[in-house]
Each structure stands twice: as C-alpha cells, then as structure tokens.
Amino acid sequence: MEPLVRTQGLTLHFGGVVGADNIDFELHEGERLAVIGQNGAGKTTFVNICTGFLKPSGGRVFFAGHDITALPPRIIVHRGLARSFQLPQLFLEHSVRQCLEIAAGARARRMSFLRSLADSVDKYEIDHTLELVGLRDRADLPASALPEGHRKLLDVAMALMLHPKLLIMDEPTSGVASEDKHALMATLMGALEERRVTCWFVEHDIDIVSRYATRVAAWIAGRVAADGPPAEVLRNEQVRREVLGSA
Ligand SMILES: Nc1ncnc2c1ncn2[C@@H]1O[C@H](COP(=O)(O)OP(=O)(O)O)[C@@H](O)[C@H]1O
Ligand SMILES: [Mg+2]
C-alpha cells in the first residue's frame, strides 16, 4: 500500500547547524509513531518541513502519493495532514465552542455552496468532537481559562474538525503535570482512534512512548538513528547512550 507519508533525501541546514540530514522516511496508515530524541535533534524541523512551515534545501515529501514539498501549510492541511503545536495556537479570547466553529469554517470555506447544510452538520459534529476530547462541559469557557492539558485537547479537537488522515503532534504532553500525562494521552489517542486518524507524536516521556506507540523512531543530529517496534528501538545501544542517556 502507498505510504501516507514518504520523504526522500530531505535535507535542511541552518547555517552550520544540521536540521535534517538526508532523511528517507515512511509512515503508513494506522501507525502510531513516537519520535524521540534530545533537544535540538531535529524532530520539530522534520515536522515543519513535512507540514510546509519550512522549505527543505533538498529532497521531497509525498503525502498519500502526491508531492507536497514546500506547498503552503494551509494547502497541506486540506490534503489531510494536520498538526498540533508544542504551544497550542488557539484563539484564546474565543470560547472553546467558537474555536471549533472557526476550525469548521476553515474547512467549509472550501465548499461554500454547501454552506447552510454544512452549518447544521457542524453543530452536531462540534458537540460530538467536544464530547470525544472531554470538553463538552467547558464549551462556553474562553480558551484562555483552560489549563494546559485542556488546551492541548482543544488544539487536537480543532485539528479533528479538518478531517485529517494524519495528525502530527509535537510534544502533546509538554507543560502538563506528569500525573496528568497518561489521562491526556488516553483521551487524545482514543479520539484519534475513533476518527481513524493516523498519528505521529514527538514525546520525551518513555513511559508514554512505550504505552501508546506502535513504532518508535529515534532522531540524532538530523537523522533517523533507529526506527522500529518500541521494545527494539528502546533497547538499541546508540539510542540508550545518546537519546535516553541510560546505558
Ligand atoms: N528556523 C530555524 N533557524 C535556525 N536554526 C533552527 C531553526 N529551527 C531549528 N533550528 C536549529 O536546528 C536544530 C534542530 O532543532 P529542532 O528541530 O527544533 O530540534 P528538536 O525539535 O529535536 O528539539 C537546533 O540546533 C535548532 O537550534
Ligand atoms: Mg522540538
């Protein structure tokens, strides 16, 4: 089957710093990929290239078989590749429900001839999506009133309104108290599974990685140093030494 994402020789240097070093990578539908790596390893750079926020100096990105290299982010999102951010990009002055309406509007603008139909579908879908991420009873609060964990959930809920095939989440549990991380991930992963969205997430907490990923890729200095089943990658010698700092 055609991979959902495929990169060929993706390369980007920032002056003397290696952001991405000739990366060949594939992601298949249904995978839950955890990307691990030290700070500065290039995890976010790779996400930024694949989602159109950075232009590579070399190489190509394909999504569902189509070349999307350096297309603008909003076009890539409409193709079905959505992302959430390490610091959620919310409309803080709006209510939780309005944030989802805005996201739904961003999708519907592409089919404005169906506008009135879309409005009624959206109401149902917004309620269902809020339910799915456990924010139904917070719908009328301003996004600014939500604690960090709930902001991450809202960020993902907004991404789901765009009907993605793949959601990339950059450090979904960062800034969330360690005792709340598992509950957050359980909710996020449950929501993605229900909507049949393939998932790739950047994560530092190895407990979370082992619990939720079906595959792990370890980034070192702009390259994929190890990639495979979680148990295998997490006991890889180089990964233990250079990523986990534990061997
Ligand atoms: N826009 C940029 N301009 C210059 N250097 C950058 C930029 N983005 C990332 N870098 C550098 O590229 C390297 C990889 O960064 P990043 O992808 O953010 O790592 P990670 O997400 O793994 O922590 C780092 O050395 C970082 O300072
Ligand atoms: Mg990063």
pLDDT at residue 114, rounded to an integer: 55
Structural domains in the chain, sorted by start: 1-71+214-247 (3.40.50.300), 80-198 (3.40.50.300)
Res. 122: pLDDT tops 60: yes
Question: Which ligand is located closest to the Cα atom of residue 43?
Answer: 1
pLDDT at residue 89, rounded to an integer: 66
Q: Which of 13, 14, 18, 54 to mutate to test the pocket of ligand 1 (most atoms within 8 A of CB)?
A: 14
**Total Cβ atoms within 10 A of residue 218:** 26
Pocket of ligand 1 (CB under 6 A): 14, 17, 19, 37, 39-45, 219
CA atoms within 13 A on the CB side of 231: 0
Q: What is the pLDDT of residues 125-146, one digit of tens each?
A: 999 999 999 999 999 999 999 9
**pTM of the predicted structure, to 2 decimals:** 0.92
pLDDT at residue 14, rounded to an integer: 95
Residues 6 or more apart whose CB falls under 8 angstroms from that of 240 comprise: 234, 246, 247
Residue 140 CA to ligand 2 centre (angstroms): 32
Q: What is the pLDDT of residues 181-231, one digit of tens each?
A: 999 999 999 999 999 999 999 999 999 999 999 999 999 999 999 999 999
Residue 91 CA to ligand 2 centre (angstroms): 22
Least confident of 18-32, 80-94, 111-125: 111-125
Q: Which ligand 1 atom is nearest residue 170's CA?
A: 21
Q: How would DSSP label each residue in 187-227?
A: HHHHHHHHTT-EEEEE---HHHHHHH-SEEEEEETTEEEEE
Which residues face 180 on adjacent strands?
A: none
What proportion of the chain, given as a percentage, has pLDDT over 90? 78
Q: How far is CA 98 from CA 102, 114, 190, 221, in A?
A: 6, 20, 23, 40
Confidence of residue 121 (pLDDT cuts 50, 70, 90): low
Strand 198-202, strand 166-170: pairing: parallel
Res. 43: pLDDT tops 80: yes
Strand 198-202, strand 32-36: pairing: parallel
Longest Cα–Cα distance of the chain, Å, equals: 60
Q: Which alpha helices (H) appear in 29-163, and where do they start and end? A: 43-50, 73-79, 96-108, 115-132, 148-160
Confidence of residue 108 (pLDDT cuts 50, 70, 90): low
Residue 220 CA to ligand 2 centre (angstroms): 13
Residue 46 CA to ligand 1 centre (angstroms): 9
Of all protein residues, the one whose alpha carbon is nearest to atom 27 of ligand 1 is 40
pLDDT at residue 117, rounded to an integer: 55
Res. 115: pLDDT tops 70: no
